[in-house]
Structures are given as C-alpha cells and as structure tokens.
Amino acid sequence: MPEINVNGVQLYYEEYGSGEPFILLHGLGGDHHMFQSEINELKKSYRVIALDSRGHGKSEKVPHYTLDDHVQDVIAFMDDLNIEKTHLLGASMGSYVAQGVAVSIPDRIKKMILVVPKAYGKTSSTARLQAEHADELKGLTQEEQMYALSKYIFHKLEVVGEWSQRVAEDAPVLTPEQQEAARKALENFDFRPQLHKVTAETLVINGRYDGLNPPKEGREVVKFIPNATFVEFEHSGHAPSVEEPERFKQVVMAFL
C-alpha cells in the first residue's frame, strides 16, 4: 500500500506489472478501484500506476483544493517516482487532470486516452445535471439524487449498477463535505486555449447516451488537440469501459 507525499499532501497509489509507465486517473468521487478491468489488461504490458487523487480514496482529505492542484500532484508524483515519460488514461474528472498535465509537460506524455472528457466547465458536470433536473430532485438526499439521475448518465443501468456495487465494497465513502470539496475543484476550468500544446497521440472516447459529458464535448476536445482521434461508443453512457467492455478493450489496445 504505497503512499507518497507530494505538494504537502499524502497520496495513495497502487502499482502493477512492468514496462513503460502508464498512469491511471479516476473520476469524481472515485478512486483506483474504478480501473480494475483496465489494470488487469494493461499490467500485461505496462507498469501500471493507479493514483487516488487528493480528497479521494485513501489519499489525504484536504478541505479545499483545485483542478490545478490535481494536475500539479500528478507532475510532482512523476518527479518523485523518477518517471521521465508516461502514458496517461483519465476518465471523466481524470480526463480533465490528464489534459492539464499534457499541456503543462507535453514532452513527458507518450500516449493519452481521455474517456468521457470535456475541455471546459463552469461547474462539475454533476452539479450542472443536478441544476437541470432540480424540480425532479427536490427533497432527495445526495445519494438519492444520483440514483434518480442515473438514467440520464448511463445507458446500461443494470450493468453499471452491479459494477458500482462491486467498486463500493472496497472504496472509501466520501462525506458530504468531502464530496462538495471534490465538486468545487472542478469549477471554472478551460483548457481549450492550451490544448494545441499537447504533443501526445490522443484517443478520445465518449458514450452516445452520456448526459454528463455527451459526445459533442469529446469532439470539441479532439478539435483542439493536434493528433487526436475520436471514437463514439453507441451503446454506452458515462462508463464505456463498463457498458461495452470488450469494445473498450479492443479500441484501447489497438490505439496503444
């Protein structure tokens, strides 16, 4: 259970396999457990490092932080582990962090995979969706709200529900205050003016039925990154790797 102190915060990570480094960055409210299937596949060929972002998982819970803190944590993490170059895979929030890393240290990112990304946001996608359906969610707890919104987020609800239960068995639960801090970190970012700096060959994947970050968001990311490819998963929402696992594995491994 390795931990490392970067930028004054204790971060937890897990490492698997050997070969070229491959860093995985999870989504909002999640942790490294979200990537079990990806880890199982990638560790056959790579040194896979799954990082719990600050405020998440087993990493230190700090009361206030920003998206740039997440970005700088990854860069400092690479420095401390003497990782000169790495591949990056980021999902949802992790895809925002990955974009920030790739524009900050473009020469140190080999290939990048952005799953259900967007290039900018005034709020977290979750907060936007909650605002859009405020009447429907009135009087519900945060957990009840997310359950009610799931039909707008995922396509294969039963499959995602079973996966979420498996992940939740091991993943620490964030308090409401920790969840709010995590959401606020995703307010008011815009990578569009900087994405031209990305030199990594990039794969962007979005799910057709994703109400959080719909395919138009991924297409916009591709428009700004010089060497990027867009793939739309036609039977997925916000979790393509869960909703279409075989296709996800095939597309990712072909890209790599």
Cα–Cα distance for residue pair 106/20, rounded to 1 Å? 17
* CATH code: domain of residue 186: 3.40.50.1820
Average pLDDT over residues 67-77: 98
What is the predicted pLDDT for the residue at 125? 92
pLDDT in tens, 173-227: 899 999 999 999 999 999 999 999 999 999 999 999 999 999 999 999 999 999 9
What is the predicted pLDDT for the residue at 172? 85
Whose CA is closest to 122, among 188, 166, 211?
188
pLDDT in tens, 145-164: 988 999 999 999 999 999 99
When the pLDDT of each residue in the chain is averaged and rounded to a whole number, the result is: 96
pLDDT at 1 over 80: no
Judge whether 94 and 25 are in contact, CB under 8 Å: yes
What's the total number of domains in the chain? 1
Task: Sort strands 120-121 and 109-115 into parallel, antiparallel or unpaired.
Answer: unpaired
What is the predicted pLDDT for the residue at 119? 98
pLDDT class of 122 with cuts at 50, 70, 90: very high
Whole-model pTM? 0.96
What is the predicted pLDDT for the residue at 141? 87
Average pLDDT over residues 114-127: 94
- What residue type is assigned to position 113 of the chain? I
Task: Report the 10 Å Cβ neighbour count for 32.
Answer: 25
Residues of the chain with pLDDT > 70: what percent? 100
Judge whether 114 and 222 are in contact, CB under 8 Å: no
What is the predicted pLDDT for the residue at 84? 98
Average pLDDT over residues 102-108: 98
| DSSP symbols for 12-49 | EEEEES-SEEEEEE--TT--GGGGHHHHHHHTTTEEEE
pLDDT at 243 over 80: yes
Residue ranges making up the domain that contains 191:
3-255
